[in-house]
Amino acid sequence: MNLKPIIAAGLVLAVPLGVASRAPQLSRFEFSEPHMGTIFRIVLYAPDEAAALDASAAAFGRITALDDTMSDYNPQSELMLLCGHAAGPPVVISRELFRVLEKSQEVAEKSSGAFDVTVGPLVQLWRRARRQHELPDPESLARALRLVGHEKLRLNSRARTAQLLKPGMQLDLGGIGKGYAADEALVVLKRHGIGCALIAAGGDIVAGSPPPSKAGWRISVASLETPEKSPTRFISLHDAAVSTSGDAEQHARIGGVRYSHIINPKTGAALTGRSSVSVIASDGTTADSLATAVSVLGRERGLDLIKSVPGASLLFVQDTGQGVNMVEWQFPPAPASRQLELEDSKSR
């Protein structure tokens, strides 16, 4: 991520970056705040600074509220309180938590369980393993694995309840929450009359209508961050989302093997191959969850999944050890003048 070094916790940047040539009434503003373990960046075009500040503050407010709902670090979050009722009766939950869990279950079904938010107990074990540079012991892994499986999470849309069937189950929304929060931030901006905006939460990017006199937002995707051979792709995007899943930022080497923060819920193992999966979809929630799912499924089955989602496209970059391999499906071609243009954002 290309983060400005002056960004600090709680600090908001408001940077008017000049007046767009063919739409002189709109100026570009950029704001950043840390949420959900990453930096959320909002780039927007507004008639004046007051409107930009007002809209972005409301959008960040929404992101903060969602973080409070979905965080697995905050023991008081609605998600963690729900997990506290594991093995108990169904619990009535908020509309937004229900929506994210419902979408998670949908993607779990579609991906044959490759995407699975019940992966929490395994995530905890692997987090500790990465911190201590020591693999989880097989017994703990087997125990955690018994608590994982999307069929152990029951949702009832009429009563708006969720039920975790086994004691000790933990939900983890790390693979879908940022995309959802970015979607919701765009909804808030639109409610404030600002549709021309981009929200970037690490590798999860949601784009509204294009900047004035531009075809779309310029976004670079899918670098494996290997020195010379790394293929970097630039795309132009509007009214859609792109998410990249990979281990560029979160991984650890244990015994010479590189372990990712993405876990195969069927085996309990952290992914080890180096890959970068970028998915474009109509919204951030879909793109975020699909990118995580495809990372687990691998190239062939991942591609099948993407083909089954109308309007979705894929760029799968993999370092095989012998070189870099790419698979793509309906991924947009790079804009012609890509070398000369500045990036609006990076999804990687």
Interface with Mg ion in residues 48-87 (CB under 5 A): none
Interface with ligand AMP in residues 233-252 (CB under 6 A): 245
On the CB side of 197, how many CA atoms lie within 13 Å of its CA? 30
Q: Please identify which residue in 292, 313, 318, 345 interacts with Mg ion, judged by CB under 5 A.
A: 292
- Determine how β-strand 345-347 pairs with β-strand 217-221: parallel
Stretch of residues binding ligand AMP (CB under 6 A), selected from 138-146, 152-160, 286-294, 316-324: 286-294
Element of type H or E holding 24: none
Q: How far is the CB of 161 from Mg ion (least distance, A)?
A: 25
Q: How far is the CB of 247 from ligand AMP (least distance, A)?
A: 9
| Nearest to ligand AMP of 197, 291 (CB atom) | 291
DSSP code for 271:
P
Q: Please identify which residue in 171, 186, 198, 296 interacts with ligand AMP, judged by CB under 6 A.
A: 296
Classify 225 in phi/psi space as left (phi over 0), alpha (psi -120 to 50) or beta. Answer: left
Stretch of residues binding ligand AMP (CB under 6 A), selected from 21-29, 89-97, 230-238, 262-270: 262-270
91's CB contacts (< 8 A; 6+ apart) are 82, 85, 161, 162, 163
Which one of Mg ion, ligand AMP, none is in contact with 107 (Cβ closer than 5 to 8 A by kind)? none
Q: How far is the CB of 157 from Mg ion (least distance, A)?
A: 23
DSSP code for 151:
G
Q: Say whether residue 117 binds ligand AMP (CB under 6 A).
A: yes
Q: How many residues bind ligand AMP (CB under 6 A)?
A: 18
How far apart (Å, rounded) are the C-alpha atoms in residues 307 and 346? 24
| Nearest to ligand AMP of 99, 190 (CB atom) | 99
Interface with Mg ion in residues 172-191 (CB under 5 A): 175
How far apart (Å, rounded) are the C-alpha atoms in residues 189 and 143? 44
Tokens encoding 39: 């930096």
Nearest-CB residue to Mg ion? 292
How far apart (Å, rounded) are the C-alpha atoms in residues 285 and 200? 13
User: For the residues of 116-146, what is the DSSP string, one character each?
Assistant: -GGGHHHHHHHHHHHHHT-PPPHHHHHHHHT
Q: How far is the CB of 20 from ligand AMP (least distance, A)?
A: 32
What residues line the site for ligand AMP (CB under 6 A)?
Answer: 115-117, 119, 123, 172, 174-175, 245, 261-263, 265, 288, 291-292, 295-296
